[in-house]
Amino acid sequence: MEVFVSLLNIYSLMGLVGFMFFWFAYQYSVPIFDWIERQTLGTRTYILEKLEFLFIEVKPDYITYMLLFLSFGNSIIVLGIFIMLGKWATGITFAILLSILGWKIPKPVINYLVEKRIKSYQLQMVDSMTLLANGIRAGLSMNQAIGMVVDEMPDPMSQEFNIILQQNRVGVPLEECLENLSIRIPLQDNEMFVTSVNILKETGGNLAEVFDTIVDVIRERVRLQQKIDTYIAQGMIQGATVFAMPYFIGGIYALSDPKSMVPLFTTPIGLLMLVIALMFDLAGGFVILKIVKIKL
């Protein structure tokens, strides 16, 4: 009878937990499915859009295979290696950590490449605006001056201005082509350039003088940004030193007394403490990154 009561209590508790889980999933079904969409197909779509912006052609299937490998493939390989060594707990722990890391790392990498391209574009704006001003003074039309920038400037400036010409050739108004440029490259300098050109095309004015003024503004902004980047680099080096310090200390302990490090990777308590330490270290690195990164 006592066994029956115990089983009844267990099944009742399981039923209650299952009902609570079902109710939560039902109440928040739309946000849950939206989150799943963003983390799966949404991530692939995001990466494909950014690769198109970077002028990198990759088949969507290859992106899917890459995401699957980063999320599951590498962790399965690591898990198999640890299982062959007879260390299940260590293998499962590292497999979970690698899965989470592989799941989250593609977007930051893509965002870094996008930011690098936008920064390169910003650094080339002074030369391109100077070319536009000289072309306008020489009697060229706006389209011809843009074509000169395409021929003389390297990527990404040449690629972006070439898109303007291609869109204009198929019938898109130049004002709309420039607006598309400001959407693709969300920079204040770029928005200032696009707005100035569109306003002067409607009201009239000296485009060459406007471009000279924009060049002065951009040059001063770039000088200030480079100064800020220097301070950011110093902060990043200091933050990286603090972030890497636990690993250096662990390496010193492993070299001086290897036996003292074995329980950290072989016992449940050691693995738990290792995971907690990694989480705190990553959180600290994230906070340091947010502190030292200054936006102009």
Position 30 scores a pLDDT of: 61
Q: Output the pLDDT for position 268.
A: 80
pLDDT at 186 over 70: yes
Tell me the pLDDT tens digit for each residue of 204-254.
778 888 888 888 888 888 888 888 888 888 888 888 888 888 888 888 888
CA distance 192 to 214: 8
Tens-digit pLDDT profile for residues 263-293: 877 788 888 888 888 888 888 888 888 887 7
Residue-level pLDDT at 14: 66
pLDDT at 163: 93
Residue 2 has pLDDT above 60, yes or no: no
Asked if 103 contacts 95 with a C-beta cutoff of 8 angstroms, the reply is: no
Q: Of 196, 194, 223, 191, which is closest to residue 207 (Cα–Cα)?
A: 196
Cα(98)–Cα(261) distance, integer angstroms = 21
pLDDT at 25: 60
Tokens representing 234 are: 């110093």
The 10s digit of each residue's pLDDT in 226-240 is 888 888 888 888 888
Average pLDDT over residues 180-196: 88
Answer whether residue 148 shows pLDDT above 80. yes
Residue type, 28: Y
Q: How confident is the model at residue 164 (pLDDT cuts 50, 70, 90)?
A: very high
What is the pTM for the complete model shown? 0.72
Contacts by 111-119, CB closer than 8 A, 24 or more apart: 111/50, 113/50, 113/54, 114/50, 114/53, 114/54, 117/53, 117/54, 117/156, 118/185, 118/186, 118/187
Tokens 């100064």, located at residue:
227
- Mean pLDDT to the nearest integer, 75-102: 80
The residue with tokens 């440029």 is 181
Percent of the chain with pLDDT over 90: 8
Contact yes or no for 53/118 (Cβ under 8 A): no
Give the per-residue pLDDT at 10: 65
d(CA 106, CA 225): 27
pLDDT band (50, 70, 90) for residue 4: low
Distance of CA 7 to the CA centre of its chain: 51
Average pLDDT, the chain: 81
- Note the pLDDT of residue 9: 62
pLDDT score for 13 = 64
* Torsion region of 203: left, alpha or beta (phi above 0 gives left; psi -120 to 50 gives alpha): alpha
In 3D, which of 245, 118, 259, 239 has the Cα closest to residue 185?
A: 118
What whole-number distance in Å separates Cα of residue 86 and Cα of residue 91? 9
Residues of the chain above pLDDT 70, percent:
85
Mean pLDDT across the stretch 109-127? 90
**Which residue has tokens 């088949």?**
59
- Please give the biggest Cα pair distance in the chain: 101
Query: pLDDT tens, 11-29?
Result: 666 666 666 766 666 666 6
Residue 37: per-residue pLDDT: 56
